[in-house]
Structure formats: structure tokens, C-alpha cells
Structure 1
Amino acid sequence: MDDNIHAPTVASGPASGGAPRDLSKLSMPDLMQEKERIEAELSALSSVLQSHGVRMTSSLTTFDGFPRDDIDIAQVRTTRVRIIHLRNDHKEVMRLIEKGVHAHFANLQNTQATGPTTNGTDVPAVVQSTTNSTTLGTPFAKVNSVVPDSPAAQAGLKAGDAIRSFGDVNWLNHERLSKVAQVVQQNEGRPVSVKVSRKNETGSDTTELDIQLTPRQNWGGRGMLGCHLVPL
């Protein structure tokens, strides 16, 4: 068996053995760093399975019940177990990040609800509506290209647009854009709200837009959107 199918060196994480880390004690920056680390390791381990030509659910036995001799079964099993642990860690990290974000904006609203005091009397503060860029956080994807006359083009999406939300998908839960694909599949023929940040021609300022994009087939091209998104 060729050596190039063996696993690359992958850094161990909290689920790889030893005492588990208490993720709830991590700060928000540390949680974001942990999220990126887990996603990077998941990507590397996925490449290991692909090198064997198998997936998480692929059978490791022949049709008559014997172990397959065309793959390293022990390595595939070890990789699958690691992926399962990492997926669980990723869910917990995302839960804690979302919890932290909600707490942050709750504190902001409490701060805005009461203004400065005058002679011991609370003066109601002027609460301004927050912009999409604040409530949705940083963009998680960019529009790399848009096919003319496609659903994306007809909705007004342009190459270079930064995606802040796609339906109920945002930077907290997009899972390397896999959730975007689910939203597209589940909303064929129905408009989906896509919030984007678009730079002006000079690049010195941006405009926040809410675009209604309707996924559909048989528009004359591939896919149901007619645009290519890349993660940021």
C-alpha cells in the first residue's frame, strides 16, 4: 500500500485523550481560536478519509463480510472516532460562542436602556437600532462569482459581496458553508433573506443590503443560485 495514503500529522485536541478541557472557562477569543483549530483538524481528517476513498458511513467490509484489503481499516476507524469527538467539541464550542454573543448584546441593551442621571433622576437614553454589521458580526463568506441571468444575479448579488447572513445562517453556525447548502435545498422556489456588505467603488465605505434570493432549478445553469461562495 502506498505511503501517501497514511495520515498527515494532525495536532491533538481536547478529545484525543487525557483530562478534557473545560471549554466553558475559555474567553470569547479563545473559543473562536478553538473553533478554528477544530475546523482545521476536521478538514485534515476528512482528507485522510478521502485518500482512502471512504466516508464516515462507508462499509469497511466486502459484500461477503470480509475486511476490505484495499484500505488501512485501523487508520480509517481511528480517524472516524476522532472526527466524532471533534464534531461534539465543535457543537459545544459553537453553543458557548452563541451564548457569549447573546450575553454581550444583552449587556449592550441594558447599558443603552438607562442614560445618565440628572439630580438623581434617570434620564431615558435614546436607543438607536443596531445595524446588521453589529448584530450579525463579521462576514463568513464572500461571493466569488455570479453567473449572468442566474437567480443570484436577478436578486442583485454581485461578485465581491460579503455575506453576513443567509437565511438563519451566520458566522456562528455556518459550519464551513454546509448550512448554507441546507438552506438552499430547503427553500427551493421560496425567497431567502441574504444580508450582504458591499464596498463602494472607491473601497472606502460599505453599504449593508438585504437581498431576497430565490433558489430554483432549470434557470439555464448549474445549481440553484448561479453564484460561487467561498468561506472567509
Structure 2
Amino acid sequence: MVNEKHLFIIVGVLVLGFIGFMVADSANRNKQVSGEGMPIGDASVKEFSITAKRFSFEPSTITVNKGDKVRLTLKSTDTTHGIAISEFNVNLVAGAGEQKTVEFVADKEGTFNFACSVYCGEGHIDMAGKLIVKDSVSGGQLGQPGGEVQVVSLHASAYGYDKNTISVKAGQPVRLDFSAEPNSGCGRQVIIDNVGVNMVSRNGETVSATFTPPAPGVYKFHCSMNMFRGELIAS
């Protein structure tokens, strides 16, 4: 039999234990409400692996939200290939059987074209892809600033581009109509740095891209091998 004294001791211990549990639980709840003690993880990293082979990228399009941290891995299966995205200072080069990785923050909204940055054979000009950075706040609606569209043209032949300079107004949309003669070699492609333009005219057809120069300045345009060159001047 448990005497009365022992019974009081047992009851007292149980009561004190219960009170201690309630105090600790209340403190923990207060911390959770105030945000204290909650785990804070790093921003998630969006990982993409692109396989390069003559003459394509797989996948050729990747999509992220503005502000995402991106980890991009390039794998080459046959020869040396590269990916260059100048707007994010990305320049990956991987030899046959190699893979190279880079990390960057997608802090600009828009569509950014990329191409193989290392000559890899006759179909080199066809190796192209795009990085799409959506505005996570507006739900990914990519718009162009207002204003009348400025229409300009550029034509390539075996001797180069027909214009060394193109003049436009900054902050207003520009539509570039590009065509190339079939014997233009690498000149069948035109890339305009920092505005996401990368077009190929394969069989003499006219292709178009619309973009907006964000600020006054000189925007270089060139073929993938930088043999054909010119300047788009935004004022």
C-alpha cells in the first residue's frame, strides 16, 4: 500500500511535470508565431542538364522565373561544344565525353537565345536554343515597351552583311527582318548581343525577331564565328 505521504509526492511530481510541459509548449508556439526558431533554407536552385551533339541541343529550350538561381550543366557526346549566353556571363565549353557546370542568377526578364560557341562542323549554325526568363510577379507575361515598332532589315551574302550599321531609337520595339543567300556560310546567322536575338536564314527565307534596346548605346551584331560583323546603334 502506498501511504498518504508517498501519494502526495507522486501527485506533486506529476503536477510539476505537467506544468513544465505546458510552459515549454507555450514558449515553442510563441516562437513559431513570431518566426523565431523556424528553419530558413537557401533559395531553391533550378537545375538543367543540356546534352550537346552534332548538331543539336537537348533540350533546346529551358524556362525559369526571374530571380531563380540556375545551375546549368553541359554534356557533350561527340566533340567539343559550347554554350554562350552573354547576358548572364555564361560561357561553357565541354569536350567529347565531358560535362561542365555553371551557376548564375536569372535576374533579367526575357528570351535569351544561345548557340554553340565552338565550331563543330558543317551543321554548326543549326545548334541553337533559348533561355526563357519569366516575370514571376506578373505570371510570366513578357511584354515589349510601348511605342511604334521600328522595322529594319539586314541581308547577308557571301561577302558579308549589306549593312555595317543600323540606327534605331532606344526604348522602342524594333523588328529586324533578316535574310541570307544560301552561299553565305556562317553569315546565314545573325546574333545581336544583349537583346536576345539569334536568327538563322537557312534557304534564303526572311526571318524576323522583335526586341527592344533597353538603353542608348551600341549593340554588336555578328555571325556565330564573328566573321560577319556590324553595329546596331540605339539613340
TM-score scaled by structure 1?
0.26
Quick check: which has more Rg, 1 or 2?
2
TM-score scaled by structure 2?
0.26
